[in-house]
Every structure is written in C-alpha cells, then in structure tokens.
Amino acid sequence: MRGPDTHPYRRPMLATEHSEFDAGSERIAFAMAQRCGLPLCGVLPMLSNAEYEAVAPQLAERTEAAVASRLAELSAAAAAAGATWQPMVRRGPALFREILDGAIQCQADLIIIRRRGRLGRLANLLVGDMVNQVLAQAPCSVLVAPQRAVMWSRHVLVAVDPTAPDAAAIDQGAAVAAECALPLTLVAVADRPEDESTRRALADALALARQRVPQAQAQVLRGKAHLQITEAAQRLGADLIVVGRHGEGGFAHAWVGGVAQKVIGLAECPVLVAIPSSTASKASP
C-alpha cells in the first residue's frame, strides 16, 4: 500500500465492543492504519440507562471499570500494531446510534465493524441487529469483518446487480484493488445471463472498473445470487467482497434479508458495503 494520499479511505473508524467477535475487525483496522499511515478513530459503544444507573451505582462502576480495561487492551493492541489510535467511549440506549453518531463526529469515510459468529442459518442472526442498523443508516461505507478475517492480499470481487449496477461499489472496489495492486473481478448473477441488457450493464461496469484497474475481469453467473457470489469468491481466492447499498437507506428496505445481507453473513472474508461519498458528506457536521 502506498499511503494516505492515494488510499481510497482517509478517515477509517473502528466500532468495537472488544468481544471475541470483534477480533477480525480490530485486526483489519489496525493493519489498515499502520500500512497506509492513516489516523484511526475508534468508538467503543456502551449501553447506558440513567435511571438504572442511579439505583444501581455499584453495577455502573463495574461497567465503567470493564470499559476502561477494554480501552487499555485496545490501546495496547494498537500500539503493538504500530497504529495511531484515537479512541472514545460513547454511551446511550442504542449501540448502533452511538456508532453512527461517532462516525459523524469523526467525519469517518469508512466504518469497520464486526460480524457475529455462525449462530444459525438465518443471515440476520449471523449479521446481528446492531450491525444491520449501522449498515442501513451509515453515512459512509461500512466494512464488515468475520472473527477470523485478515487484511486482504489476494483478490477483490465486486458483486454487480445487473438490474441496477451500483457505481459506488464498482468505483470503491476498483480503488481498493488498485491501491493494493490486486486483481479485480466483477461478478453479476442473472436469471438470463445471455440477456443483452445484462451483458450491457456488466460491460458498462467493467469499463468503469478498468479506469482504475485496466486488467479487471467480469463474469456473468446464474443461480441464487448470494451463493454464486460467495462461491465465486472462494473459487477466485478473493479475500474482499464489495457490494453496494442502493441509495440512502436503501439497504434497510431492499437488501437486509436479501442478497447483500446473506453475502455478509456467509462470506469467509470481509465484505465492504460501498456507500457514495455524497451520502457521507450530507451527514457530516
């Protein structure tokens, strides 16, 4: 990686509860900050209920002590990784809201967050409500990392919806591939791969990607989209998958419970949900 002047993200933010499931997101966030010379903002969200804390001050004190211990461990890990780390604790009744407000406060252009472990077959159990809420409302792109995830180093795969190609996903996926000097493949899953509109949409997407990665390739596949995308990632050796969020808030209405959420829940590698920079700028203070 070349450094902060060329990296597609300038202000990454790690959102972590420092649980066992956060190991992958923490690992990637510290590696990105160190390798790219980026300042890393950190948010440790904490549930807070003023009325409960007033009647149970000893429990509140224990919670604060636990948070202080987590912060100390995170700071030690950041220092060991050579990352510049600027943490904060945000307290409130909803963890996702503290993460979103923290992203706005940091003027983050990338939120790095964990995925749950394999708790069941349903994608929402794998992703979790807190992460779903962040994905649905985030003012910037979101990288969701499984527990065992590491920094990508082999191949970037961008999932293209042939009915509505997402320019942000194509552009950001290509930017990451170009920055890291990695091969890039666009994958579109369609009921009729031979359909002219599908091929035209993928050709347009490939032309956009090749502005950054001249050797980018494309594939049209048939089947269940989330399975074809995750299987293609395994077949290609891709260790980063990029998907789009269709418009502001569109993830909540269109893709939660759908393709993107299932890809996030099933992928063995990190999944980047690319959100246009214009969306991020609207949320900036």
> Could you tell me the two tokens for 89?
């604790």
Q: Quick one: which of 166, 148, 211, 204 has its CA closest to 184? A: 211
Q: Give me the CATH code for the 12-145 domain, please.
A: 3.40.50.620
- Identical fold for domains 12-145 and 156-283, yes or no, is yes
What integer pLDDT is reported at residue 6 of this predicted model? 58
* DSSP structural state of residue 26: H
> Domain-by-domain residue ranges, the chain?
12-145, 156-283
Is the pLDDT at 197 greater than 90? The verdict is: no
- Chain CA centroid to CA 131, Å: 10
Beta-bridge partners for 41 = 13, 86
pTM of this prediction? 0.89
- What integer is the mean pLDDT of 203-216? 96
What integer pLDDT is reported at residue 256 of this predicted model? 43
- What integer is the mean pLDDT of 260-270? 91
Is the pLDDT at 185 greater than 80? The verdict is: yes
Domain 156-283 CATH class label? alpha beta
What integer pLDDT is reported at residue 51 of this predicted model? 63
- DSSP structure string for 112-179: EEE------SSHHHHH-HHHHHHHHH-SSEEEEE-TT-----S-EEEEE-TTS--HHHHHHHHHHHHH
Model confidence over 23-64: pLDDT tens digits?
A: 999 999 999 999 988 999 999 998 886 665 666 677 777 878
Q: What confidence category does residue 246 fall into, taking pLDDT thresholds of 50, 70 and 90?
A: low
Q: Give the residue with greater pLDDT, 197 vs 127.
A: 197
Q: What confidence category does residue 283 fall into, taking pLDDT thresholds of 50, 70 and 90?
A: very low
Question: Which residue is associated with the tokens 């091969």?
Answer: 183
> Could you tell me the two tokens for 34?
């160190």
Amino acid in the structure at residue 183: P
82: left (phi over 0), alpha (psi -120 to 50) or beta: left
Q: What confidence category does residue 126 fall into, taking pLDDT thresholds of 50, 70 and 90?
A: low
Is the pLDDT at 254 greater than 50? The verdict is: no
CB within 8 A of 62, min separation 6: which ones? Answer: none
CB within 8 A of 69, min separation 6: which ones? Answer: none
Is the pLDDT at 249 greater than 80? The verdict is: no
What integer pLDDT is reported at residue 121 of this predicted model? 46
